[in-house]
Amino acid sequence: MPRTIKPKTTKSSASAPAITRAKAEKSLAKAPQDRVFWSNDGRILTDMKELMDALANMSDQNFAYHSNAMKKDFSNWVRDILEDEKLAEDLEKVANREQAAKVVEERYVFLTSKLEK
């Protein structure tokens, strides 16, 4: 009997769930008042857009306060409050504020494109 060879799938295509409009809306929604992100520089962030803007403009020192070997404040907030596992994982991998700002901006643009369909 001939053997059937299954096509290989990449890890990302095999494990990444499709993003629905509802999921995009959830990730982009404002956090409840008691679950906002309190930045060390006094900013209060309520959603992904505000996180994107804050990362683009905050000091490297403030970023390092929230994201270092001991603390993963941004990724934890994104995972637990905005419920965006992919963005949380991407934020854990960045080395600096500029990279963090870029991954948040890319995710924001991607999610907002899901709302246009």
Closest CA to 92 of 40, 42, 84: 84
Provide the residue ranges of all domains of the chain, joining segments of one domain with +: 33-115
Q: How far apart are CA 67 and CA 25, in angstroms?
A: 26
Instruction: Say if residues 107 and 24 touch (Cβ distance below 8 Å).
Output: no
19-28 per-position pLDDT tens digit: 899 999 999 9
Confidence of residue 18 (pLDDT cuts 50, 70, 90): confident
Phi, psi of 45 (to 5 degrees): -105, 135
The pLDDT of residue 83 = 96
Longest distance between any two alpha carbons in the chain, whole Å: 69
Q: How far apart are CA 41 and CA 74, in angstroms?
A: 14
Average pLDDT, the chain: 89
Strands (E), the chain: 37-38, 44-45
Other Cβ atoms within 10 Å of 32 Cβ, number: 9
26-47 per-position pLDDT tens digit: 999 999 999 999 999 999 999 9
Query: What token pair was written down for 20?
Result: 């629905």
What is the mean pLDDT of the segment spanning 87-116?
96
8 has pLDDT over 50: no
Global pTM value: 0.83
